[in-house]
Chains A and B, each alone.
Chain A
Amino acid sequence: GAVVSQHPSRVICKSGTSVKIECRSLDFQATTMFWYRQFPKQSLMLMATSNEGSKATYEQGVEKDKFLINHASLTLSTLTVTSAHPEDSSFYICSAIGVLGPHNEQFFGPGTRLTVL
């Protein structure tokens, strides 16, 4: 149990286009999902907290109009990188909180490698 999937696993796009990344909790319901980005050899940087049915909460310095997050159901959150530029190239990882143990555990997806040309 407690599997989080992401799609696509890697995507290459042209500068100026938009890319949508999906994050799904496959066998549990997740009221809260998180989106992170990770640069090579660096830690995860939290971008936003996504709650089902409400607007995402963005971390300081993250442009909400550039990184659109939608959490339409208890098992799906999407991150859309709008008008992507090469500096948006990164590894994007989502996670979902599930109550599967003695406390809320955060389960991570496998990540999506975005390359903007």
Chain B
Amino acid sequence: GEDVEQSLFLSVREGDSSVINCTYTDSSSTYLYWYKQEPGAGLQLLTYIFSNMDMKQDQRLTVLLNKKDKHLSLRIADTQTGDSAIYFCAEEADSWGKLQFGAGTQVVVTP
């Protein structure tokens, strides 16, 4: 199986909070990332967290990292229709910048 695992689908109402979860396996990863992919487009870096941090907040985005459980989450506050996309978490696979991606979570925001 994949080293990075995510749930595949999340449906959320506009205005509610979304929480996307991810588990990873490489405890030596220095950075962990969240990317957003809209249909037919490349990946957009949303945020990242350094492995010695527990939490990082950036406007509507909050990243929580539990190193003990190797669990990473992304919370999107006040979810908007423009947040509908696929969200990938990724861990650094080596010191040269290679990333290991999860399968992606499709987030659908309903009015």
Contacts and interface: CB of A to CB of B under 8 A. Distances in A.
Contacts, number: 48
A7 interface: no
A93 B103 contact: no
Contacts of A43: 2, 88, 101-104
Interface size class of B (residues with CB under 8 A): 20 to 34
B43 A42 contact: no
Given A32-B97, A97-B97, A108 B43 contact: yes
Interface size class of A (residues with CB under 8 A): 20 to 34
- Residues of A contacting B: mostly: strand
Contact of B98 (A6, A34, A105, A111): A34
Contacts of A42: 103-104
Interface of A: 4, 6, 32, 34, 41-44, 46, 49, 93, 95, 97, 103-111, 113
